[in-house]
Amino acid sequence: MNAVPFDTLKFARKLAASGMAANVAAGTAEALAEAMSGAEPATRSDVNDLGVVLRSEMATMRSELGSEIAAVRSELGSEIAAVRSELGSEIAAVRSELGSEIAAVRSELKSDIAALRSELKADSAAIQTGLSSDITAVRTEVTALRTELKSDMALLRRDLTIKLGSMMIIGCGILLGAMRFFVLHP
């Protein structure tokens, strides 16, 4: 540890000259000398080491955020693919059922074809309406998740900026405070 030279007598005299009682000035000088004897000023190396640690932590955080975002994207992709697959199989099943019913009706009675066609059109419209509402709901959920993710990322970015700025301000404050109490001798 590098001790900073501090002349307590000179400091006490300056305090006394500025109007402070001599015994109070002497006590203040002694207290300041004791406080400074345990203080270890930050070196440029300490500040550089702190910068390296902060950069490493920020890189780790970026990596973690990237992996979390990739995981969410992967989950959403698999869920969307599952919904598409389910809808495709349901549509295929409905088409198969409708095809067999139409074939049976054609073979049985030609007079019932018009009635079945109107029923099929109604069923088809209902299925399309249901699918449209399901697709709209899925799109709404995906949009909400994207918005939430963006807001979470913005909050995280803001928090990181505030914490880093606070650390820099505190570091500068400590350096300026330490420099204020050091007496430079030519």
Residues 74 and 144 in one domain: yes
Count the domains in the chain. Answer: 2
Q: What's the pLDDT tens digit per position in 32-81?
A: 888 777 666 667 888 888 889 889 999 999 999 999 999 999 999 999 99
pLDDT category at 1 given cuts 50, 70, 90 is very low
- Rounded to two decimals, the pTM is 0.29
Largest CA distance in the chain: 122
Provide the residue range defining the domain that includes 35: 1-40
* CA–CA dist 138, 150 (Å, integer): 18
Q: How far is CA 88 from the centre of its chain?
A: 37
Residues 23 and 102 in one domain: no
